[in-house]
Amino acid sequence: MMFSIGDIAIEKNRLFLIAGPCVIESEEVVFKTAETLKEITQELKIPFIFKSSYDKANRSSINSYRGPGIKKGLEILNKVRETFKIPVLSDVHSVEEIKIAGEVLDVIQIPAFLCRQTDLVVEAGKTRKPVNVKKGQFLAPWDVKNIVEKIKSTGNEKIIITERGTSFGYNNLVVDFRSFPIIRSMGVPVVFDATHSVQLPGGAGTCSSGQREFVPYLSRAAVACGVDGLFFEVHPDPDRALCDGSNMFPVKDFKNLLETLIEIHNTVKKF
């Protein structure tokens, strides 16, 4: 075992899942999604961490929906945690947020655009809680070593790195599958963000767009490369979602995809 998140053991050769809506839209949407995901993951016996953001601080437009904010958002996440008995994860955006969020969150997430912010990364490490760092789309895989060392400098070894694609020209991302073994060689679990990797940042002018139809293809390839975990943003009705709907995956279709990914994982881990 590498480390634990609540009752979940993060272990080699055991795939785990981080999933949930992009942002907290309402308690109803969050609870409906969390309940469905728990049912699916219990049936498929895959460790599950619920994810949703209380604030999406990095938005294309001043008019973009950001979420309910830290106070209300953490209240909802805490209800999810207590009701469904599952660990919860959300993003932090400033050093000041970390102490407040750390009282509720089981995993503290550093957003991609803030992954090089030393004070933020170090403060997250000081909580001794697991820290999931979204690898910036501007970073080479080997640059992640510097982030890992920043967190380890606090004595915290509970580090997860999530690959979410690399900038490829304007308004586009591409996944370099070499990054998975490179990051894994640093001794930390690597997660593939299957939904942000198909995002087209700023592709709709005042908001991002995405290519949801490629999620199954990239996620199957990532599992075949030997990732430790998967990150999916899912929603009951992505086309009506308030944030990142074009790249979120419909929760009604998620079980079938996850079954396929687990089957690939079980094949690959034999080698």
pLDDT in tens, 4-22: 998 899 998 899 999 999 9
pLDDT band at residue 256 using 50, 70 and 90 as cut-offs: very high
Full 3-state SS string of 21-82: CCECCCHHHHHHHHHHHHHHHHHHCCCEEEECECCCCCCCCCCCCCCCCHHHHHHHHHHHHH
pLDDT band at residue 249 using 50, 70 and 90 as cut-offs: very high
Residue 63: what pLDDT?
77
Q: Sketch the domain layout of the chain as residue ranges.
A: 3-268
Residue 18: what pLDDT?
98
In CATH, 3-268 is 3.30.830.10:
no
Residues in the chain, how many?
Answer: 271
Amino acid at 163: E
Question: pLDDT tens for residues 170-214?
Answer: 999 999 999 999 999 999 999 999 999 998 887 666 666 779 999
Specify the pTM.
0.95
